[in-house]
């Protein structure tokens, strides 16, 4: 079956750095997405990786290793507004988006 | 600006009534739209894939006669929850996906919160 694993919840301190990991097992691979979702709102796009390596976009970076079925989202200089759920999703060989359960990130002052 | 809009943003209805949710792609024509449902503290669950001009493709376990999908144009898809019951109360989100040339980016509507009394 298809499976995406990410931690359920993480806690970090304002101003610090946090890394949210995601491992996947899917039928085929056409890219991996990271989305941010605040409570009661729809997800918003953060990043898309289809090749191995690190993609940096401001305070957020996303890394992919296809051979390991692994990705991480790195958030730097954490702000209180970064408190949200972070969803990892993989586009499989049929271009279906397979979603992880999300990681709830709690930022403490 | 917003790429996808949904209407209404929230709705409260009595058990047994039907509710229609509209999803509009504002930025580009979408031959395919996706309908998701999300229960509190759970991840998104794909309900169906809406295809313009043809029948929607439903995920396993989703009743097609209960959740009617109409994708009448390249910018509009509607989801009708028929004979709604309290267990249908959820957050319904539609999305559209750009093509390969645009990194397959998937845009989400703001969601519709349905409460069935």
- pLDDT tens-digit profile, chain B (117 residues): 668 999 999 999 999 999 999 999 998 788 789 999 998 878 888 999 988 888 899 999 999 999 999 988 889 999 999 999 999 999 999 998 776 556 667 888 999 999 999
Can you read off the two tokens belonging to residue B95? Answer: 């999305």
In the prediction, which pLDDT does B99 show? 64
In the prediction, which pLDDT does B43 show? 80
Cα A22 to Cα A2: distance, rounded to the nearest angstrom: 13
User: Within 13 Å of residue A4, how many CA atoms lie on the same side as its CB?
Assistant: 26
In the prediction, which pLDDT does B112 show? 95
Residue A45 pairs in a beta bridge with A35
8 Å CB contact of A30 and B44: no
8 Å CB contact of B46 and A33: no
**A12 CA to chain B: closest CA distance, Å?**
20
Look at residue A21 and tell me whether its pLDDT is greater than 60: yes
In the prediction, which pLDDT does B74 show? 86
Task: Give the phi and the psi of residue B101 in degrees, each rounded to 5.
Answer: -65, -20
**B45 CA to chain A: closest CA distance, Å?**
8
8 Å CB contact of A101 and B42: yes
Q: What is the pLDDT of residues A71-87, one digit of tens each?
A: 999 999 999 999 999 99
Look at residue A96 and tell me whether its pLDDT is greater than 90: no
Tell me which of A6, A42, A93, A98 to substitute to probe the interface with B (most B C-beta atoms closer than 10 Å).
A42
10 Å CB burial of residue B48 (0-12, 13-18, 19+) is buried
**Mean pLDDT value across chain A:** 94
């Amino acid at each position: 079956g298809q499976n995406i694993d990410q931690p359920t919840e993480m806690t970090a301190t304002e101003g610090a750095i946090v890394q949210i990991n995601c491992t996947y097992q899917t039928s085929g691979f056409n890219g991996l997405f990271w989305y941010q979702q605040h409570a009661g709102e729809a997800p918003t796009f953060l990043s898309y990786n289809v090749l191995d390596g690190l993609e940096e976009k401001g305070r957020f970076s996303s890394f992919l290793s296809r051979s390991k079925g692994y990705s991480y989202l790195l958030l730097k200089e954490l702000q209180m507004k970064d408190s949200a759920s972070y969803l990892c999703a993989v586009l499989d060989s049929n271009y279906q988006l397979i979603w992880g359960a999300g990681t709830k990130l709690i930022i403490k002052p | 600006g917003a790429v996808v809009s949904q209407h209404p943003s929230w709705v409260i209805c009595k058990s047994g009534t039907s509710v229609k949710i509209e999803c509009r792609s504002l930025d580009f024509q979408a031959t395919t739209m996706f309908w998701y449902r999300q229960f509190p503290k759970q991840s998104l669950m794909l309900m169906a894939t809406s295809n313009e001009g043809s029948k929607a493709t439903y995920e396993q376990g989703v009743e097609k006669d209960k959740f009617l999908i109409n994708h009448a144009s390249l910018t509009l898809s509607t989801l009708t929850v028929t004979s709604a019951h309290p267990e249908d109360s959820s957050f319904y989100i539609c999305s559209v996906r750009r093509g390969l040339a645009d990194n397959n980016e998937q845009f989400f509507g703001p969601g519709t919160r349905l409460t069935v009394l």
